[in-house]
């Protein structure tokens, strides 16, 4: 029997980026807020100080900062006809854990989606006709527009001190920025980071091929920065230990370096770490959340009553908690009914590795930051005419090589033996003179009727709860998209002067062991129709109005960008709606 704790105004499930943003906004409103976090408290000087944060074995290979699969995991299959099996070692993406969540280990690539990405279904249908889209593609509009959330993109970028070059200021295209981006109300808070040699060489080659390269927007500081909350960040040292690592130098935007120092000083904020929420409780009507139940590390069960529940865990666990709590109708792909688990997506990543004459090129790949990079956006979203290509979607591409870490960075030309003296010689010969962008082509992943999440019928976690099950595979549209983009990308790498370009296309079936990105999205998507979305345009549950669901689980499909900028902007947008609309008149903010 759970022990009941004193009531709070707000309980937040998961203290990552969106949980921290909501906690700060709602405590500013004067509400008494508690955040419950599954993992440990994390602090730079204690958990990833600069004297050992650059430990590739510890953080990259052994997953120091991530969830441990024996705490909880999920099951996976490609097709509905298969039996899913539990994942015992993370591969295709990295479920975060602990205070700061994915904001601790991210690369800090801080993109905005294109205006057309928010109205994707409408836009593509208008431009190409409904029959151009695959029959089983289930893309939707977000229910908000770029213009709706532009002010909130701006707030997140100024919170983070994002470094970048604006490409569109209030409709005026700016030299050196991304000409395809939506209009931004003001420049980035910091100038773009200085780009190392291979990145500038990529930009030169791209420019000569007629593209418009620009620096990747970066949450790594190009100079000292003080954000609007008064929290300070220091300049990035280009150490090359960013993604998968915490930043010990206060140089990467994270909840720790932008929000938490202010939040922890507030008397109306409490955090409980190492406590896992097991369900969202509702009253007898099922229409009102009464709080959450969680377990601590001793296995003790507690009930935290609250008037407002903010679900801000990682995509998979947001969806799993909704299913376990019986909130919203579970998605049924056969009947094509229900919403929870619907439109699950990931990303379509590929690479092209360039090998250069070592006598002429020394790239010093270890000089890098998490969001370093020169990119082009000509092939993202609907920035180009897809009519002749037979697919929709796209992605940015660029030399975005974030590191030369010794265990991972061993690019060798095709045909090199996999081990032994010849392999060692090839690694030595190519380490400094190869270009290995990693996520060189960062493509979209649109949604399909048979790509979804539900509860596994067989496997349970340590508490006896069914694991989340994902059913996911690549569809022809994404594979065609990737082949086209990878070829365009390889042309630029070739134009940089590479004597050999190894094109590493993304191929089906979807492989859960191969890392792509941690950008799994959907499953509790936002929209305008309660029959096809779990939450409304303010991220409010259609079924339980005092529950708001943050994060990329709300994306109806994934665009060709990193999701953090957009999910954080949506969190600020939702917080604004809670502060200025919901609290004045608690109840549904949209009447469908």
Partner 1 sequence: MRSRPIAAVVALVIVVGLIGLAFALWRDRGQSSPSAVRRADGQDFAQIERGRTLTTLADCAGCHSTPGQNEPFAGGRPIETPFGNLLAPNITPDRETGIGAWSDAEFDAAVRQGKQRHGGLLYPAMPYPYYAKMSAEEVLAIRAYLDTIAPVRNSVVSNQLPFPFDIRASMRVWNLLYFTKGEFKPDASKPAAWNRGAYLVLGPAHCGACHTPKTTLGGDLASQALQGYGIQGWFAPDITNDATRGLGSWSVEDIVAYLKTGHNRVTAATGPMAEEITLSSSHMSDADLTAVATYLKDQPGRFDTTATIPATDPAMVAGAAIYRDVCSACHAIDGHGVANLFPALAASPAIRSSDPASLLRVILRGARSVATAAEPTAPAMPAFGWQLDDEKVAAVATYIRNAWGSAAPAVSAEQVREARRSLAARSD
Query: Using the rule CB under 8 A, which residue among 50, 179, 183, 326 binds partner 1?
Result: 50
Number of amino acids touching partner 1 (CB under 8 A)? 26
Residue 280 near residue 317 (C-beta atoms within 8 A): no
Residue 231 touches partner 1, criterion: CB under 8 A? yes
Residue 261 touches partner 1, criterion: CB under 8 A? yes
**Contact residues for 321 (Cβ-Cβ < 8 A; gap 6+):** 13, 277, 279, 280, 311, 313
Q: Which is nearer to partner 1, 259 or 376 (CB)?
A: 259
Least distance (Å) between residue 43 CB and partner 1:
7
H-helix or E-strand spanning residue 354: strand 348-355
Query: Using the rule CB under 8 A, which residue among 5, 137, 169, 262 binds partner 1?
Result: 262
Least distance (Å) between residue 568 CB and partner 1:
20
Q: Which is nearer to partner 1, 40 or 235 (CB)?
A: 235
Q: Does residue 519 have an active-site annotation?
A: yes
Least distance (Å) between residue 569 CB and partner 1:
24
Least distance (Å) between residue 266 CB and partner 1:
10
Number of Cβ atoms within 10 Å of the Cβ of 202: 30
Binding segment (CB under 8 A) for partner 1, from list 234-242, 291-299, 324-332, 575-583 = 234-242
**Contact residues for 394 (Cβ-Cβ < 8 A; gap 6+):** 379, 380, 381, 382, 383, 384, 386, 443, 444, 481, 485, 560
Instruction: Determine the Cα–Cα distance for residues 256 and 246; give it in Å rounded to an integer.
Output: 10
Residue 234 touches partner 1, criterion: CB under 8 A? yes
Residue 410 touches partner 1, criterion: CB under 8 A? no
**Contact residues for 55 (Cβ-Cβ < 8 A; gap 6+):** none
Least distance (Å) between residue 34 CB and partner 1:
18
Residue 229 touches partner 1, criterion: CB under 8 A? yes
Instruction: Determine the Cα–Cα distance for residues 522 and 506; give it in Å rounded to an integer.
Output: 21
Query: Using the rule CB under 8 A, which residue among 49, 228, 509, 587 binds partner 1?
Result: 49
Instruction: Determine the Cα–Cα distance for residues 254 and 19; give it in Å rounded to an integer.
Output: 12
Looking up tokens 């790949």 gives 365
Structure tokens at 99: 């205070």
Contact mark string toward partner 1, 324..363, x via CB under 8 A? ----------------------------------------
Residue 404 near residue 366 (C-beta atoms within 8 A): yes
The residues that bridge with 502 in the sheet, in sequence order, are: 353
Looking up tokens 């909704």 gives 322
Binding segment (CB under 8 A) for partner 1, from list 10-18, 71-79, 228-236, 545-553 = 228-236
Residue 43 touches partner 1, criterion: CB under 8 A? yes
Residues catalogued as catalytic: 519
Residues that bind partner 1 (CB under 8 A): 43-46, 49-52, 224, 226, 229-235, 237, 239, 248-250, 257, 261-262, 265
């Amino acid at each position: 029997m759970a022990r009941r704790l004193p009531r709070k105004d707000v309980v937040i499930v998961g203290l990552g980026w969106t949980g921290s943003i909501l906690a700060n906004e709602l405590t500013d409103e004067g509400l008494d807020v508690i955040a419950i976090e599954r993992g440990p408290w994390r602090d730079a000087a204690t958990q990833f100080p600069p004297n050992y944060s650059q430990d590739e074995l510890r953080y990259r290979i052994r997953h120091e900062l991530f969830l441990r699969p024996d705490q909880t995991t999920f099951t996976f299959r490609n097709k509905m006809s298969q039996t899913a099996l539990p994942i015992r070692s993370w591969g295709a993406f990295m479920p975060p854990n602990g205070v700061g969540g994915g904001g601790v280990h991210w690369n800090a690539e801080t993109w905005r989606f294109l205006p057309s990405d928010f109205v994707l279904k409408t836009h593509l249908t208008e431009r190409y006709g409904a029959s151009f889209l695959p029959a089983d593609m289930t893309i939707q509009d977000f229910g908000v527009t770029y213009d709706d959330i532009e002010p909130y993109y701006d707030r997140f970028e100024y919170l983070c001190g994002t470094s970048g070059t604006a490409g569109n200021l209030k409709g005026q295209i700016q030299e050196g920025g991304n000409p395809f981006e939506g209009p931004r109300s003001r420049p980035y808070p910091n100038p773009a980071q200085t780009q190392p040699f291979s990145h500038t060489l990529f930009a030169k080659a791209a420019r000569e091929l007629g593209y418009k390269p620009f620096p990747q927007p970066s949450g790594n500081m190009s100079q000292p920065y003080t954000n609007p909350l008064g929290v300070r960040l220091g300049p990035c040292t280009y150490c090359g230990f960013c993604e998968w690592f915490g930043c010990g130098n206060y140089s990467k935007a994270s909840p720790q370096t932008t929000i938490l120092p202010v939040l922890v000083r507030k008397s109306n904020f409490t955090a409980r770490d190492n406590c896992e929420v097991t369900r969202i409780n509702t009253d007898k009507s099922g229409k009102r959340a009464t709080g959450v139940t969680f377990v601590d590390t001793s296995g003790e069960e507690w009930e935290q009553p609250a008037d407002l529940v903010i679900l801000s865990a990682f995509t998979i666990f947001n969806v799993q908690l909704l299913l376990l709590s019986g909130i919203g109708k579970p998605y049924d792909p056969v009947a094509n009914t229900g919403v929870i688990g619907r439109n699950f997506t990931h990303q379509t990543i590929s690479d092209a590795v360039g090998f250069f004459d070592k006598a002429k090129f020394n790239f010093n790949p270890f000089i890098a930051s998490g969001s370093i990079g020169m990119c082009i956006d000509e092939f993202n979203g609907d920035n180009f005419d897809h009519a002749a290509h037979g697919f929709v979607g796209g992605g940015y591409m660029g030399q975005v090589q974030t590191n030369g870490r010794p265990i991972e960075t061993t690019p060798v030309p095709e045909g090199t033996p996999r081990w032994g003296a010849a392999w060692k010689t090839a690694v030595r010969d190519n380490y400094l003179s190869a270009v290995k962008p990693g996520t060189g082509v960062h493509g979209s992943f649109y949604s399909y009727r048979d790509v979804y999440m539900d509860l596994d019928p067989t496997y349970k976690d340590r508490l006896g709860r069914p694991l989340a099950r994902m059913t996911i595979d690549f569809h022809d549209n994404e594979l065609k998209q990737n082949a086209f983009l990878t070829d365009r990308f390889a042309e630029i790498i070739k134009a940089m002067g590479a004597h050999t370009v190894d094109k590493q296309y993304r191929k089906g079936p979807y492989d859960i062991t191969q890392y792509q990105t941690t950008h799994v999205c959907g499953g509790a998507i936002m929209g305008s129709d309660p029959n096809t979305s779990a939450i409304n345009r303010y991220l409010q549950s259609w079924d339980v109005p005092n529950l708001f669901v943050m994060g990329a689980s709300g994306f109806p499909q994934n665009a060709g960008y990193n999701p953090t900028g957009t999910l954080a902007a949506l969190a600020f947008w939702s917080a604004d709606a809670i502060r200025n609309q919901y609290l004045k008149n608690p109840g549904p903010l949209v009447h469908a």
